[in-house]
Amino acid sequence: MKNLFLILFALALIPSLAKAEPYTYAPDNCDMQITFPEKPFIEKKCLTSGEKKDCTDIVTYKKIIPPDASVNFRVTCVGYDKKELDTYTNEVVEKTLNKLMKDQGMEAYDVSSDDADGIRRATSMSVGTKDDVPYIYSGQIWIGEKSMFTLEAQMKGAKNDEIDKTFASILRDTYPKKLKVEKPDQKEK
């Protein structure tokens, strides 16, 4: 009976030992890709105008470490006509990012934009406290040849090494698809 108990206990531990696999979100209509430590929640939102139906994914990833440390990412990537994307100058992208952050109740700090390899991007950070909870917020907009990619990342709560690592890792693993990035522990296939 004692051996049976040990076997059942060991079998009960096996699912908890399973490690989630990283998940790369990179839809065909998007110039960007982002890799999460595990599969995020992906919700499809659609707007209908007459007979035309436009749908986009809203990607959300959240990790919480009790009692109050957390990281939260929200990503969208919307396909647009190249002509329309060309209207998003650096100034327009910066203003759009400022509005995005203001809509989240954040004050943008050091909004900057640049163009490189056919990608225009604007980034901003916001650091502070909200309801007595410290936070770091990163807002990013990337304009490619066929899409607009938005990223909102928030880390809040007491300092936690695992949350810090997750936040930095996801931000580091966000880049244009056409950019080949070789990771130290991976070889290109």
Which portions of the chain are predicted below pLDDT 70? 1-18, 180-189
The pTM for the full model equals 0.82
How far apart, in Å, are the Cα atoms of 137 and each of 40, 58, 65, 83, 89?
Answer: 19, 18, 18, 31, 23
**What is the per-residue pLDDT for 114?**
92
Residue 134 β-bridge partners: 129
State the CATH class of domain 33-45+53-176: alpha beta
pLDDT for 189 equals 32
The pLDDT of residue 118 is 86
Task: Specify the pLDDT at position 13.
Answer: 47
Within 8 A by CB and 6+ apart from 187, the residues are none
- Report the alpha-carbon angle 37-142-166, nearest 5: 20
Q: What is the pLDDT of residue 62?
A: 97
Query: How many whole angstroms separate alpha carbon 54 and alpha carbon 51?
Result: 10
pLDDT in tens, 149-178: 999 999 999 999 999 999 999 999 999 998
Q: What pLDDT sits at residue 10? A: 47
CB count within 10 Å of CB 173 equals 16
pLDDT at residue 187, rounded to an integer: 39
Instruction: Check residue 36 and give its pLDDT.
Output: 98
Q: Specify the DSSP element, H or E, that contains 85.
A: helix 82-85
Domain locations in the chain as residue ranges: 33-45+53-176
Identify the pLDDT of residue 18.
58
Q: Which residue has the tokens 């809509």?
A: 103
